[in-house]
Amino acid sequence: MSLSVRDTGRMTRMPPPAALSRFDLIAHNNTVEEIRSRVSNNIESYFPGPFKSGFAVQLISVQQRSYSTICFFNVCAGGPDNRPLPGIAVKIFSHQFGGAELADLQFSSMKSVWPLMSQTARFAIPRPLELFHDLSAMAMERVGGESIQRQFRRNLFAPLKWPALVCACGNAGEWLRYFHTATQESQGQLDVTAKKAAAGLAISKLQGRGFPGKSVHPIEVFLDTSAQELSHIDLPAALVHGDFTVDNVIAEGARITALDLSGRDRNAIYHDLATFLNSLWLMRLFMPLPDALLNRCARAFLKGYFGDERCCHLALNFLRVTGLVSSALEIIGRRQDQPIAQFWVRRFLNHQLGGIVRSSRDTYGATLT
């Protein structure tokens, strides 16, 4: 068998994104109001219970993300006790990036995985509530806690809180192991040829945008030699999350909830592991995080996933490099008119890629030279 196979948010108090035109702004507000109305009408199907009177559904905030808009609603049942109900989050998918098709896919994935994840109190996904196909949106129960990325930002200059960050990353590894175990598949070989070809194309484009050839050559050698080694290795496979990053993993004590489950691919487990580790290090693009802290968090994550079992670092590093090359091209492409920012990104990503290649060479020796 051959195994083939990110939204950083910011909180705003006003629902519409600032960049919308007047026409789009009206359409956006109409969509949000229509969602609020539908949520209000369907509350009793979301949260069945003996309520004597109606519900108040209030839009409290909107999170504008790169590829979607998320509306957060508070829900309060009427009656003397005024019993609060769990909040609701409605994700509106951008038409530019899949719209209704992506909403349908994510909702069906969450519906299929929800029974597996609802069996444990520690590991969760948001409970899917309803799909609004015509609005390219889906409703889900809002979860508590905050993303690991936000915890890093909040505790960046509080070293006494760093052990909690390490622990959160370890718990994230445990969540991922639970998810993969519940959805495991038969083993298979990684689609190294396709991935190496895609990475090679991205590297050529990076060179055209200023990546030095002397830095690119070791990466190309690594991809060639590691692809040859991996073509003979069977790897464990499962349903992959698809976007398991520090901003999509929500920690609340020992409880971990993963957001944005795509669930469209059954693939090598190392895809999700590589994605998380890359997202951990990519935080250094906007936060001065020390290597020592990130290394501790990476080790805790892998320990949480593997325990005392063996990790195939060759597969992990191969997918990390191919993923980072793709990320480098995307990030630099978004900063075409910012030469200083481009220089910083090139320098940072070149350092990260070189570090992974050197680490693999140290581990596997002459095989990768």
Q: Is the pLDDT of residue 23 over 50?
A: no
Domains of the chain: 6-141 (no CATH), 146-368 (3.90.1200.10)
Average pLDDT over residues 302-316: 96
Encode pLDDT of 92-139 as tens digits.
Answer: 998 877 788 989 999 999 999 999 998 899 999 999 999 999 999 999
Q: Higher pLDDT residue, 330 or 333?
A: 330
State the average pLDDT for the chain: 84
Residue 171 is predicted with a pLDDT of: 98
Query: What is the pLDDT confidence band of residue 81, given thresholds at 50, 70 and 90?
Result: low
Residue 53 is predicted with a pLDDT of: 62
Pick the range with the lowest mean pLDDT from 83-87, 97-101, 333-337, 347-351.
333-337
Rounded Cα–Cα distance for residues 302 and 173 (Å): 6
Pick the range with the lowest mean pLDDT from 99-108, 247-256, 288-297, 333-342.
333-342
Bridge partners of 268, per DSSP, are: 237
Residue 173 in contact with residue 301, Cβ under 8 Å? yes
Q: Is the pLDDT of residue 7 over 70?
A: no
Rounded Cα–Cα distance for residues 71 and 193 (Å): 41
Residue 65 is predicted with a pLDDT of: 80
Rounded Cα–Cα distance for residues 88 and 143 (Å): 9
Residue 344 is predicted with a pLDDT of: 72
Encode pLDDT of 245-280 as tens digits.
Answer: 999 999 999 999 999 998 778 899 999 999 999 999
Residue 366 is predicted with a pLDDT of: 41
Average pLDDT over residues 158-184: 96
Residue 282 is predicted with a pLDDT of: 92
Residue 346 is predicted with a pLDDT of: 73
Average pLDDT over residues 292-320: 96
Residue 2 is predicted with a pLDDT of: 46
Q: Is the pLDDT of residue 325 over 60?
A: yes
Query: What is the pLDDT confidence band of residue 180, given thresholds at 50, 70 and 90?
Result: very high
Region class of 242: left (phi > 0), else alpha (psi between -120 and 50), else beta: left
Encode pLDDT of 38-66 as tens digits.
Answer: 998 888 888 887 555 667 888 988 888 87
Q: Is the pLDDT of residue 17 over 70?
A: no
Pairing of strands 249-252, 146-147: antiparallel
Q: How large is the angle between the packed helices 192-208 and 213-230, nearest 10 degrees?
A: 180
What are the tokens at 298?
């990476």
